[in-house]
Chain A
Amino acid sequence: MTISTSNPSETFLKNKSKFIFLIGSIFTSLGILLVTVGGSWDITNHLLSKPESFFSPPHALMYSGVAISLTGVVLSFIGWRNLQKFKDSYFLSLKIKLIGIGLLTGAGPLDFIWHSYFGLDGLLSPPHFTLITGMFLCSVGGMIGISKYLKFNNSQSVMKYLLILAVIPVWLSASGIISSLSLPFSSTDFFQFNPEPTIAFIIASLAYPFLISLSLTLIFRLSNYQFGMLSILGGLFLLIYSSTAIVPNFAMFDTVQFYALNLIPFVISDIFLKLNRSKLSRFFVGGLLGSVFYMTYYPYVMYTYNEILLGKLVSPSLIYFVYFELIQTVMIYTIIPAIIMGILGVIISGKLSKKILMN
Chain B
Amino acid sequence: MKRFLIYFGAFVILSFYFILTIFVLPSEFLMTEQLVPEPTFQAVLSDSKITLGDSFRLDIVSVNTGDYADIHIVSVAFPDLIKTDDVVKIATYDFTLSPSYIYVDEEIGSKYSGGVETTFAQYPSIEAMSRPLKPDVPTHFDIVVTPKELGLFNIYVKSIGIPHTSSISHYPYSGVLDHQNEYVQVYSVTVNP
The residues in B between 31 and 65 inclusive whose CB is less than 8 angstroms from any CB of A are: 32, 34-35
Asked whether B162 lies within 8 Å of A313 as measured between CB atoms, the reply is: yes
Q: Using an 8 Å CB-CB cutoff, how does the interface string of A258-296 with B read, 1 for contact, 0 for none?
A: 100110110010011001000000000000100000010
Asked whether A318 lies within 8 Å of B163 as measured between CB atoms, the reply is: yes
Interface-forming stretch among A61-69, A147-155, A192-200, A321-329?
A321-329
| Contact flag A321-B30 (CB < 8 Å), given A49-B97, A268-B14, A311-B116 | yes
Q: Using an 8 Å CB-CB cutoff, how does the interface string of B70-106 with A read, 1 for contact, 0 for none?
A: 1100000000000000000000000011000000000
Name which residue of chain A comes closest to B67, CB basis. Answer: A317
Query: What's the least CB distance linking B147 to chain A, in Å?
Result: 30
Asked whether B132 lies within 8 Å of A49 as measured between CB atoms, the reply is: yes
A261 to B10, CA, bound (A): 14
| Contact flag A324-B14 (CB < 8 Å), given A313-B115, A315-B71, A315-B114 | no
- Interface size of A by CB at 8 A reads 32
Residue A248 is within 8 A (CB to CB) of chain B in the complex:
no
Name which residue of chain A comes closest to B32, CB basis. Answer: A254
A271 to B10, CA, bound (A): 9
- Interface size of B by CB at 8 A reads 32
Asked whether B13 lies within 8 Å of A268 as measured between CB atoms, the reply is: yes
A317 to B165, CA, bound (A): 11
Name the A residues within 8 Å of B29 (CB-CB): 254-255, 258, 320-321, 324
Residue A251 is within 8 A (CB to CB) of chain B in the complex:
yes
Identify B14's interface contact among A51, A251, A265, CB under 8 A: A265
A315 to B35, CA, bound (A): 11
A5 to B35, CA, bound (A): 76
Name the A residues within 8 Å of B10 (CB-CB): 268, 271-272
Name the B residues within 8 Å of A254 (CB-CB): 29, 32
Name the A residues within 8 Å of B131 (CB-CB): 48-49
Asked whether B163 lies within 8 Å of A261 as measured between CB atoms, the reply is: no
Query: What's the least CB distance linking A235 to chain B, in Å?
Result: 15
Interface-forming stretch among B17-25, B138-146, B174-182?
B17-25
A216 to B20, CA, bound (A): 23
A-B CB pair tally, cutoff 8 Å: 78
A160 to B27, CA, bound (A): 42
Asked whether A317 lies within 8 Å of B22 as measured between CB atoms, the reply is: no
Asked whether A316 lies within 8 Å of B132 as measured between CB atoms, the reply is: yes
Name which residue of chain A comes closest to B24, CB basis. Answer: A258
Residue A232 is within 8 A (CB to CB) of chain B in the complex:
no
Main secondary structure of the interface of A (DSSP, over half): helix
Asked whether A275 lies within 8 Å of B17 as measured between CB atoms, the reply is: no
Residue B137 is within 8 A (CB to CB) of chain A in the complex:
no
Asked whether A315 lies within 8 Å of B162 as measured between CB atoms, the reply is: yes
Name the A residues within 8 Å of B26 (CB-CB): 324-325, 327-328
Residue B6 is within 8 A (CB to CB) of chain A in the complex:
yes
A288 to B114, CA, bound (A): 38
Residue B167 is within 8 A (CB to CB) of chain A in the complex:
no
Name the A residues within 8 Å of B3 (CB-CB): 275
Name the A residues within 8 Å of B20 (CB-CB): 261
Q: Using an 8 Å CB-CB cutoff, how does the interface string of A320-347 with B read, 1 for contact, 0 for none?
A: 1100110110010000000000000000
Residue B183 is within 8 A (CB to CB) of chain A in the complex:
no
Asked whether A261 lies within 8 Å of B21 as measured between CB atoms, the reply is: yes
Asked whether B17 lies within 8 Å of A261 as measured between CB atoms, the reply is: yes
Name which residue of chain B comes closest to A259, CB basis. Answer: B21
Residue B68 is within 8 A (CB to CB) of chain A in the complex:
yes
Name the A residues within 8 Å of B188 (CB-CB): none
Asked whether A315 lies within 8 Å of B96 as measured between CB atoms, the reply is: no
Residue A312 is within 8 A (CB to CB) of chain B in the complex:
yes
Asked whether B35 lies within 8 Å of A251 as measured between CB atoms, the reply is: yes
A325 to B114, CA, bound (A): 19
Asked whether B163 lies within 8 Å of A315 as measured between CB atoms, the reply is: yes
Name which residue of chain A comes closest to B37, CB basis. Answer: A317
Query: What's the least CB distance linking B138 to chain A, in Å?
Result: 18
Of B10, B20, B21, B30, most buried by chain A (CB within 10 Å of CB) is B21
Residue B192 is within 8 A (CB to CB) of chain A in the complex:
no
B contact set with A: CB distance below 8 Å: 3, 6-7, 10, 13-14, 16-17, 20-23, 25-26, 29-30, 32, 34-35, 68, 70-71, 96-97, 113-116, 131-132, 162-163
A sample of 15 cross-chain residue pairs with beta-carbon separation below 8 angstroms, ordered by A number, consists of A48-B131, A49-B71, A49-B132, A254-B29, A258-B21, A264-B13, A264-B14, A268-B13, A275-B6, A295-B21, A313-B116, A315-B163, A316-B132, A318-B163, A321-B30
A contact set with B: CB distance below 8 Å: 48-49, 51, 251, 254-255, 257-258, 261-262, 264-265, 268, 271-272, 275, 288, 295, 311-313, 315-318, 320-321, 324-325, 327-328, 331
